[in-house]
Amino acid sequence: MLSFYRNLAKLTRNTSKLIGKKGTDLPGKVLRKLDKDILIKLSKQYDEIVFVTGTNGKTTTSNLIGHTLKEAGINFINNFEGANMLDGIISTFAIQSKNDTKLAVIEIDEGSIKKVMQYITPTKFVINNFFRDQIDRFGEIDTLIATIGEQLEGKNIQLILNSDDPFVTRLSKYGNNNIYFGIDKDAYSFTDYGISESKFCPSCGTELTYDHVHYSQLGYYHCENCDFKHQETKYTVTKAKVEPFIELSINNEDSFSTRLAGDYNIYNLLAAYSLLKELNLDNDLIKNGLGSYTPKNGRMQSIRISESSMALLNLAKNPAGLNASLAIGNPIKEQINYLLVLNDNGADGIDISWIWDTDFNIMKNQNIKNIICSGKRAEELALRIKYSDVNANVVVRKEIKDAVKQLKNYQEKYALVIPNYTALIATQKELENN
């Protein structure tokens, strides 16, 4: 019967692609209509099931892991296209499964953990960070973390946690044989743009004391009133450079260069490294995989848009992510253009008030010529920029196709293109069209 379901999933996916859709979720939706417990049955053959989540960076982290395993010649399945909710995960298990595959690496949307874990329990769970995101869908961070904790409790899952984030550390009590990763205090100097989530102790409510802050709530902390604190890390970035691509040293031993820009990707690389080490992959294979990964999914992806211009495409969907993306322009000396795209579809979260928590003044000392605002909420985006200190020509083009066409007409060497979630694929497609 499972072979029938797998063939049906492949047929559904191919049909969906023929009519111009991605075909990532529909096969799972069809199979779930036929058998509500299909994911339980499809996942039974796997000895190791790894979940990867976090508000920011889960797709990059999952793809770093997947790329490294592929380069190492290891059989596994991975939802590399980012279909990280229930139906997409079902599709991944149905379409990619082979009889000799015993490892699954699954990116999972943090808001879908409760639904997915009704059917499947991972053996390992990588959790990178929690930032305020899509409040209308997830609720506040405290609510989200409490919900995730309920799913983890009593299930004997090894948690691989970012100790620098107190929200992530809160989940420690639900895991078994936990592993922690983080960045040394003096390993790299992040710019902290002042957006901070709650910094209160989850055990007693006392304000946390920070010995060092990397950015936002990430850093070294402890509670003066109880024993809640930054946990000792097994895997630690001891030195990092970003010029503009990241070079890392981990535990003062493993050093390697990467093809990833954006200093926030230091955490994604470290999370991937930690998981791969816990899967007992050889050091040289890990460094080769992480060092050779090139983004192709709108996460720090470079796209040539004209003979003279290169666009750097990066998804951002919350204040912390957008701040990090805007900061990419800081070291660029040449004159640059921006294309910012903001939708408010269901998967984005219809509440876009988070743009007022973003620090657009990050851009004020950059050499910007034009900023194009696009998407369903382009006007609100332009209004937000008006209330910043950014000095640039601001243009509104609601249709993504029109916005990208205008961007391609500019002659500047670099363009930074930052869409939110549902705008990403359409923007990427238009950028890549000749």
Q: Which residues are annotated as a binding site?
A: 201, 204, 223, 226
Binding residues for Zn(2+): 201, 204, 223, 226
Half-sphere exposure for 247 (CA within 13 Å, toward CB): 6
At 194, list the tokens: 């002042």
User: Is position 351 annotated as part of the catalytic site?
Assistant: yes
One-letter amino acid of 426: A
Name the active-site residue from 37, 136, 211, 351: 351
Burial category of 313 from C-beta neighbours within 10 Å (exposed 0-12, middle 13-18, buried 19 and up) = buried
Helix (H) or strand (E) segment spanning residue 215? strand 209-215
d(CA 280, CA 55): 27
One-letter amino acid of 150: E
* Catalytic center residues: 351
